[in-house]
Structure 1
Amino acid sequence: MLLQGKVVIVSGIGPGLGQELAVEAARQGAAVAMCARTPAKLDEAEREILALGLDTPILKVATDISDREQCKALVAQTIARFGRIDVLFNSAYNPGSFEPIEVANLDSWRAAMDVNLFGTMALTLEVVPHMKAQGGGAIVMINTMVTRKPLQTQGGYGASKAALASATSHLALELGQYNIRVNSAYMGWMWGPSVEGYLQMNTDAGGPSVADQRAAVAKNIPLGDIPDDADCAKAAIFLGCDYACAITGAALDVNGGEYLPH
């Protein structure tokens, strides 16, 4: 088990990657503290974890990470319950509104920034002192392929995540001396509730079938299909485990090869 005996926090619990991160962390032996704005999403993730039959210690804290005080409360409750924090998976995000930049709703951009940059940093900065005191830890930022391969109508989301990417590099540089690793997983298309819902929305609006849309996306992916969100979660789990002990400041592309750096 890659996270045996570790304590992890996973933000952004909900159908899709956030829940898959929490479930996979539990499967790999971690005690799991989970946060989301909606308690029902935490309850669903808890049911999925308990179904593993591993007696995983679980903490659920309803949290809006754009509120620094709520981040502080989440971290305090995690320390009170488990005594340490070994890994933080920053998965919470706000996609903003999808439209061309020339007609962008900048209020939507600010809302995305409040979560994707400032909220993520608020939670991270609450965790860092505890990792320093215990001699190290790992922080994993969930970023997006959109910052590397722009997609139509996602400029606001991409801008917020690009800002996070820069902050992450600086954090890796500053925190390395404390044995705190800071890495990013850049997710592309992920087959799960969010993408399925998006494709179904297009179909309902008179577009191609979900199957045809999926096939069109898959044509650009060397591995031949949209990766499952559970498999994408495994890549992030790797960055948080001790097998990645020599890695910090890295940007791991998790997209089936759709974006190929050169």
Structure 2
Amino acid sequence: MAQHDAAGMRVTGMMLRDKVAVITGIGPGLGRALALLAVQEGATIAICARTAEKLNALEHDILALTPDARVLRQTTDVSDRDQARAFVDAVATRFGRIDVLINSAYTTGAYQLAAEADLDDWRRTLDVNLFGSMNMIQATVPHMRAGGGGSIVNINTKVSRMPLETMGGYAVSKAALRMATAQLAKELGGDHIRLNSIFPGWMWGTTVEQGMVERAKLQGTTVAALRAEIEKAIPLGAIPTDSECAKAVIALSSDYFSAVTGACLDLSAGEYMPV
């Protein structure tokens, strides 16, 4: 696929050349960055979200940058098994195969202390973060088997590594997804299907910036001050951007990491370091 830089020079992405990549959870943050980068790296892509407006806007932006990009978009609630399967089947019918699946769809659920949390909200959070990802995986695996293998990356969170007050439902759902990813990696290795987990921390982009604007207003401070306080705890000294994190996800999903499965890659700029 042709891509042009700011100077109008033609450049060609290679990392996902000739791959069909499915990306869930298209929003203003990581999901959007993943889709844009996947196309730049040569992929044919299929994107889904619960709202058509987000998909339409992203497809417009992709085609503006890469007019010959091949894109399939479909409104999908991944927590609904039938919708997830219909989306995956539409991708396989349109493009003939699926090489990469990136599960980026998520919900944080309500912010509540665990001891008093609404457990129905926890169940709804699990429905999206765990079972939604599993719906996509179970629908995709037969197509990957038929194609001789594939790569699945599940987007997790630093919060499942470092408990954060009031985010228990989110953390528990993602911790379950981490174990499911390892289980699947063990079981599907013989089919040449790799599964890996990515653990972002803070990611600077539209979503985080909007949240900090509101937080700054409530606390009578500035976004710059809030950001500086957070970055004190980050060894690399800066909050990674959505685009920086997308690069690591796309690389992990590619054949450059063909020998890697069952791995947990932390993208918190050193805020969390496993020992």
Question: With structure 1 as the length reference, what TM-score do the two structures score?
Answer: 0.98
Cα distance in 1 between the residues matched to 2:61 and 2:28: 11
Q: 1:194 aligns with which of 207, 218, 222?
A: 207
Q: CA deviation at 1:53?
A: 2.4
Q: 2:81 aligns with which of 68, 88, 106?
A: 68
Q: 2:68 aligns with which of 55, 72, 75?
A: 55
- Give the alignment of 1:1-262 within 5 angstroms: 1-53=14-66, 55-262=68-275
Map of 2:4 onto structure 1: none
Preserved contact between residue 11 and residue 90 of structure 1 (Cα < 8 Å): yes
Cα distance in 2 between the residues matched to 1:95 and 1:54: 35
Q: Deviations over 1:212-233 (max 9, x none)?
A: 1111111111111110001101
Cα distance in 2 between the residues matched to 1:206 and 1:234: 34
Preserved contact between residue 25 and residue 32 of structure 1 (Cα < 8 Å): yes
Change beyond 3 A, Cα 1:207–1:164: farther
Cα distance in 2 between the residues matched to 1:104 and 1:194: 25
| Aligned residue pairs, count | 262
Identity of aligned residues (%): 53
Q: Deviations over 1:17-70 (max 9, x none)?
A: 001111110010000100000001001211221232251100000000010000
Question: What's the Cα RMSD here?
Answer: 1.0
- SS of the residue corresponding to residue 110 of structure 1 reads helix
Map of 2:6 onto structure 1: none
Unaligned runs of 5+ in 1: none
- SS of the residue corresponding to residue 60 of structure 1 reads strand
Q: CA deviation at 1:133?
A: 1.1
- SS of the residue corresponding to residue 66 of structure 1 reads coil
Q: Deviations over 1:165-191 (max 9, x none)?
A: 010000000000000000011110000
Q: CA deviation at 1:207?
A: 4.2
Unaligned runs of 5+ in 2: 1-13
